[in-house]
A and B are shown apart, each in its own frame.
Chain A
Amino acid sequence: MIGVLRARMRRFAHRVMTRRRIDLPLAAGLFVLALIGLATLYSAGDRSLALVGGQAARFVLGGALLLLVSRIPPPVLRSWTPGLYAVSVALLVVVAILGEGRGSMRWLDLGVMRFQPSELLKLTTPMMVAWYLHPRQLPPGWKDIAVVGILIAIPAALIAEQPDLGTAVLVATAGAFALFLSGMAWWRIGLLVGAVVGMIPIGWHFLHQYQRDRVLTLLNPESDPLGNGWHIIQSQIAVGSGGVFGKGWLHSTQSRLDFLPEHTTDFIFAVFSEEFGLVGVCALIALYAFIIGRCLWIAMEARDTYSRLLAGAIGMSFFVYVFVNGGMVAGMLPVVGVPMPMISYGGTSAVSLLTGFGVLMSIHANRKSHI
């Protein structure tokens, strides 16, 4: 029985590989990452197999979506782009209306499963930007930059309003990376970045009180010993006590004694750092860097502007996840809800990430030298 299954699996794998739909190095990188994620989760989640099983199920679902999406040729994807963008923004509006008066609302209850429309925007926003820039003269002028700015700002503002600052940052940067890769002139980038930095005091005004508290707590964690300050202090103790070589798998004490909150989700990287030390951190970050580099490689080989910009933007936004979550765990950035990709438990993040890599696989399969 198992033999038959294994043979069938091998045949399937062979077919997938020989068609060269799948980029082997990228797939291998993701696979290793998923294994590390499950191993860390097993330790962080008090050896709960239910937790690991749930996460594995998400990886399987995400992997299936990856294979499915990889079969959609980029031109088809491009023709769908405006529709997908419009639908996902409309869903955000629906969530905003349903959530009226309930404080915080991010989910759409589909009965069978709950689903977070903001996850979709992580993909459809860079798609839309790439779609818009595809037929235009590049590098873009101010007019095109302004249009792209609006395309990014609409979903980002709706998500920030939910309020989900972490996802809003991810969506905005994914779109911005597409713009960066399109060759936007450096002096224009300089001007825009300068303007954004100048807007920070105004933006501060629009933050929710709890969001401001999170930033302030970062500066002085001891001021909030029951809330976020506690997260930051405990997370740093976990990371720092790991040292160069770590305490070893299953030997983190911070999460075991429940000092570290959210130790399977947003703060799981602290458990990883405690158990595997600086060596583990460097290895994992090198793996992330490899995946990002491979994405950019695929982007460079892509056939048209749309594919190029999209692949590059997806790869670079992967960096934002790692940087924001890693910085938060190390007490360098405020506590926002950005997971460590493929390591943090739960949510729809793993599924949406793998779907994004499906797009990359499709772009890879339709690369220039391969038509």
Chain B
Amino acid sequence: MKSRRALKNVRDETALFRRRALVGFVLILLGLGGLVGRYVVLQVARHDEFATRSTNNRVKPRAIPPARGLIYDRNGVVLADNVPAFRLEVVPEQVKDMPALLARLGQVVPLDQDDIDAFNKQLRQSRRFDSVPLKMHLTEDEIDRFAVNRWRFPNVDVVPYLTRHYPFGPLFAHVVGYVGRIDADDLQRLDADRYQGTSHVGRSGVERSYEDVLHGKPGYELLEVNADGRTQHVLETHAPTPGRSLYLSIDARIQKAAEAAFEGRPGAAVAIDPRNGQVLAMVSVPTFDPNLFVNGISQADYRALTTDPDKPLYNRALRGVYPPGSTVKPFLALGGLELGLRKPSDTVFSNGQFCLPGQTRCYRDDKRGGDGTVDMVTAIEKSTNTYFYKLALDMGIDRLSQWMSRFGFGRETGIDLIGESDGILPSRQWKAANSKQPWYPGETVIAGIGQGYWAVTPLQLAHAVATLAGGGVPYLPRLGMATSTVGEAQRQPLPNPPGATLIRQRGDWAVINAGMRAVITEGTGKGLNDGFPYAIAGKSGTAERYSRTSDAYDTNRNTAYLATRHRAWFIAYAPADHPQIAVAVVLEQGAWGASAAGPIVRKILDAWLATHQGVLPGAERLPDAAPLPSAAPAPAGSVVEDVPVSASSEVQP
């Protein structure tokens, strides 16, 4: 301690500090002098200018919210529209006692607690002279009642605005989604400047994922006000930049047919164009009316939707996960070829059951006694379990999950919607993360027929079918196809570049195609092509909702009974020689994939073909197809545009 004190020269240090403090003070005085100088400039030199501006300061800016972009289907059919409506607004500046005002107002126009809460939240966020919306979408009765009592409420006004309307109601609820009133959480998240004056924001579906495109940029007007702050004139208007309109790749006609085909039975269907990833239809049944949500859904309506056992708010296409069952077989067979584990001509003898060496428990074929000797095409056609049990074992779980992940199983497909489920792709890693047990060989066996841990969403399966149908070239599934705005002659397409192909040899693809084609001509899907002029390829899947507790075959063949136990899948693409549409359909309560889900697929294909007037350029018509109708009547009032596909991305397997 002593040595340190000796080191410190206290006297010098004190003197140094004094000098520094003085210099510091002089610098501070200079700084304050500079500040005063600035005030001299403002208050003396420019006083006249500012005094004039102050007395003329009767001008206030007010934000003008931009009109939200519309949403169309691929042919320009309006799916989300802006329609005029009226709302109640309060200018908080002049109100002394807000609760009392709201109480008096509530006697004229009924206000529920949700309105008042939202109003109070927004009140805190806005400037006092900005009017704050209190109640949206007034009914005519409410407008009339307020008009009579208007004199009692000098600070309250009925203001016209544009509200969102979904003309198709429930049909697009799970795709387009809906907008809702901006609440306190949104205010934290959103850019306050961009959302000045805006009352609604996208809550779900495309409305949410394309919020940035649809919203636009607010403008403002300069208002001249009197000494009390009341608006006298509008001096200047700077128009807002409206949001861009969005064209979806969905075709409303296909969407409508797909939804109708379910006849209200819970399930989902997704149709994708394999040449570009565009989603042509995406339905989840049952559904709900998105218009209910726009101006705040009533408690009763909301409770009805949430307590419905079929969960209409649940987007099955995007979030529902189901075991894929036999629909994985074509993908697995392709893996066998690509990984060099199988040749198309390699055969397997199916005798009705398959046993792992050294284990007493065996795995069944669907048909008692088995399918006999099958090669790859026959195994796909007859859905021979033994063939795929062996293939899965030869492949091993690591190669199996790695191969299947290339089709997008086990993770989000990356569609332009928020809230996708990952599903489950069985793998050692997945099991290690979710269970304490090690991986058992038996689990590899059942993974080969889409059972066990497997779980896929209808969207994932449709995406995988599209990738397969497109010759192994993956595209991200896309709903947004193009945008446009007023004054732009052309739609701006939203690009969606292809990924690298999964298939090394075109011959491999042809084998799988032959197998899936045989499913339709000879196998479970027999009859599905009747009357359809182009070749369909497909595969059924019947997944068990509950694991079997015994090895016994189901003796009860009653369809209604089986429907409670099974999920029915059907995947397909068409035309088989030149695929232009890929479809996956799941029916939550279907006895058998082909008989329950197959007809839904066919109705989607019919509707799709009708949008092309029954003619597909580049594809071969089946020989037994009816001759071309001489003049196919075009649906009235809509223009059919063919999908623009660049030559390089065209797939000609």
List A residues at the B interface (Cβ < 8 Å): 102-103, 135-139, 177, 180-183, 224-227, 230, 234, 236-244, 253-254, 257-259, 261, 273, 277-278, 281-282, 285, 288-289, 292-293, 296, 299-300, 305, 308-309, 312, 316, 319, 322-323, 326-327, 330-332
- CB distance B21 to A181 under 8 Å? yes
- CB distance B20 to A183 under 8 Å? yes
- CB distance A243 to B18 under 8 Å? no
Residues on B with C-beta less than 8 A from A103 are 188-189
- Other-chain contact of A278, B31, B43, B57 (Cβ < 8 Å): B43
Most buried by A among B51, B93, B189, B227: B51
Residues on A with C-beta less than 8 A from B188 are 102-103
- Other-chain contact of A237, B14, B53, B60, B229 (Cβ < 8 Å): B53
Nearest-neighbor residue (CB-CB) of B1 within chain A: A135
User: Which of B32-40, B451-459, B562-570 lies on the face that meets chain A?
Assistant: B32-40
Q: How far is A355 from B351 in the complex, measured between Cα atoms in Å?
A: 90
- CB distance B51 to A243 under 8 Å? yes
Given contacts A243-B43, A253-B57, 9 further A-B contacts (CB under 8 A): A227-B193, A240-B50, A244-B43, A257-B227, A277-B43, A285-B36, A312-B17, A326-B38, A332-B35
- CB distance A330 to B7 under 8 Å? no
Residues on B with C-beta less than 8 A from A312 are 17, 20-21, 24
- CB distance B20 to A180 under 8 Å? yes
Nearest-neighbor residue (CB-CB) of B16 within chain A: A183
5 A/B residue pairs, CB under 8 Å, sorted by A: A137-B8, A183-B17, A244-B44, A300-B18, A323-B31
Nearest-neighbor residue (CB-CB) of B54 within chain A: A241
- CB distance B21 to A330 under 8 Å? no
Q: How far is A292 from B35 in the complex, measured between Cα atoms in Å?
A: 16
Q: How far is A230 from B56 in the complex, measured between Cα atoms in Å?
A: 16
Q: How far is A273 from B50 in the complex, measured between Cα atoms in Å?
A: 13
Interface positions of B from 38 to 70, Cβ below 8 Å from A: 38-40, 42-44, 46-47, 49-51, 53-55, 57, 60-61, 63
- CB distance B17 to A181 under 8 Å? yes
List B residues at the A interface (Cβ < 8 Å): 4, 7-8, 13-14, 16-18, 20-21, 24-25, 28-29, 31-32, 35-36, 38-40, 42-44, 46-47, 49-51, 53-55, 57, 60-61, 63, 93, 127-129, 188-189, 193, 196, 218, 220, 222, 225, 227, 229
- CB distance B21 to A296 under 8 Å? yes
Min C-beta distance of B237 to chain A, whole Å:
12
Q: How far is A317 from B25 in the complex, measured between Cα atoms in Å?
A: 12
- CB distance A332 to B229 under 8 Å? no
- CB distance B46 to A240 under 8 Å? yes
Residues on A with C-beta less than 8 A from B43 are 239-240, 242-244, 273, 277-278, 281
Q: How far is A291 from B331 in the complex, measured between Cα atoms in Å?
A: 81
Nearest-neighbor residue (CB-CB) of A274 within chain B: B54
Nearest-neighbor residue (CB-CB) of B43 within chain A: A278
- Other-chain contact of B35, A138, A237, A322 (Cβ < 8 Å): A322
- CB distance B50 to A239 under 8 Å? yes
Residues on A with C-beta less than 8 A from B189 are 103
Q: Would A139 and B193 be within 8 Å (CB), given that A243-B43, A277-B43, A278-B44 are in contact?
A: no
Sorted nearest first, the 7 A-B pairs with minimum C-beta distance are A240-B50, A241-B54, A183-B16, A240-B42, A278-B43, A241-B50, A243-B47
Residues on A with C-beta less than 8 A from B40 are 278
- CB distance A332 to B25 under 8 Å? no
Q: Would A240 and B49 be within 8 Å (CB), given that A135-B4, A180-B24, A226-B220 are in contact?
A: yes
Q: How far is A240 from B188 in the complex, measured between Cα atoms in Å?
A: 35
- CB distance A296 to B31 under 8 Å? no
Residues on A with C-beta less than 8 A from B21 are 181, 296, 299-300, 312
Q: Would A138 and B8 be within 8 Å (CB), given that A244-B44, A319-B28 are in contact?
A: yes
- Other-chain contact of B50, A237, A285, A289, A299 (Cβ < 8 Å): A237
- CB distance B24 to A254 under 8 Å? no
Nearest-neighbor residue (CB-CB) of A137 within chain B: B7
- Other-chain contact of B36, A257, A281, A296 (Cβ < 8 Å): A281
Q: How far is A327 from B32 in the complex, measured between Cα atoms in Å?
A: 10
Q: Would A296 and B24 be within 8 Å (CB), given that A226-B61, A240-B49 are in contact?
A: yes
